[in-house]
A and B are shown apart, each in its own frame.
Chain A
Amino acid sequence: MIRGVLRHLAMSHGRAVSLYKRVNHPNGKEWATYLARHGQLYHLGTDCSILPSTRIVDPWYTWIGNRVCLGTCSLICHDGSIEVLYQRHGLRIDRIGPIIVEDDVYVGENAMVLGGTTIGAGSIVGAGSVLRKSVPAGSVVTGNPARVVARVEDLIRIWQAESMQYPWADLIARREGAFDPAMEPELRRLRQEYFFADRRVTPDPQH
């Protein structure tokens, strides 16, 4: 009941948003829906997933396409150092640039995307990357400064081959999407058996 009210207040009126986040723990899809209505982004496409913990610091200069998935990353269009340059040197400088995230992009945990960059369609930005310049469509980028380490088609070919070798490959072949709660307990059991095969806890005969 309370969750429904909070959701309505947030989604329809942009009110009680902090409480809505704390109580409802909206998932990425739901939070993206909220942002599309009240997030003040210059553009936010459809079917996106954006975690509530994602920091979109300058939404007015942020353009996000369709089916974009953002982990807990930061998108920062401005350079905060101009404040110090003004205070110390009296300089009146503007340092800001747009961020454009094209369709079907994934940005991983703790990545930082800085102003003046375009992430080309279908690209994957690895966890912890610091993106200071644009990357072409279909790139896999990692590191600080982020650089292109592979093409997405290569990543797909390699990951598909590796996935097929897992003992739970048949489950993955039947799974719709990246997560299926019904399948998860069995997946977790099989993964634990595989990952920790040589670290099984055996009962201590002394106790």
Chain B
Amino acid sequence: MSQLMSELQEVFRSVFDDDELVITDSMSAVDIDGWDSMAHINLLIALEKRFGIRLAPADIAAIGRRGQTIGGMLGIIDSKTRPVDSDGTGL
């Protein structure tokens, strides 16, 4: 499990109040008990706090898209937290 995934799992465990919760790339909202609309807001706020990021409207929409997986969410967070190189591309 990558460092980012491990941190993401900690966020999920805190938001869903389940210390045993194990997340995988392919999981989505239907796979986690209690992932309702309010938990979703909680999750987004917790992600922002944990990773020190500010999700843009497009990110919020992408994370909230039906069927969005944790892997997809991870990709969005990764793109927001990746250090920006001198050329500004982050690549």
Q: Could you tell me which A residues sit within 8 Å of B by CB distance?
A: 126, 140, 142, 149-150, 154-155, 157-158, 160-162, 164-165
Contact = CB atoms under 8 A, between A and B. Distances in A.
4 nearest interchain CB pairs?
A161-B57, A161-B60, A165-B61, A150-B41
A126 B38 contact: yes
Contacts of A158: 40-41, 44, 60, 64
A164 B58 CA distance: 9
B64 A149 contact: no
Interface string B58-70: 1111001100000
A165 B65 contact: yes
A164 B45 CA distance: 19
Contacts, number: 39
B11 to A, nearest CB: 15
Given A162-B64, A165-B65, A150 B57 contact: no
A164 B62 CA distance: 11
Contacts of B79: none
A140 B57 contact: no
A41 to B, nearest CB: 29
9 contacts: A149-B38, A149-B39, A149-B42, A150-B38, A158-B40, A158-B60, A161-B59, A162-B64, A165-B64
A150 B61 contact: no
Contact of B57 (A142, A149, A154, A160): A160
A149 B61 contact: no
Contact of A140 (B41, B58, B59, B60): B41
Contacts of B61: 161-162, 164-165
Given A158-B44, A158-B64, 16 more contacts: A126-B38, A140-B38, A142-B38, A149-B38, A149-B42, A154-B44, A155-B41, A157-B60, A158-B40, A161-B56, A161-B57, A161-B64, A164-B57, A164-B61, A165-B61, A165-B65
Contacts of A161: 55-61, 64
Contacts of A165: 61, 64-65
B38 A162 contact: no
A58 B62 CA distance: 46
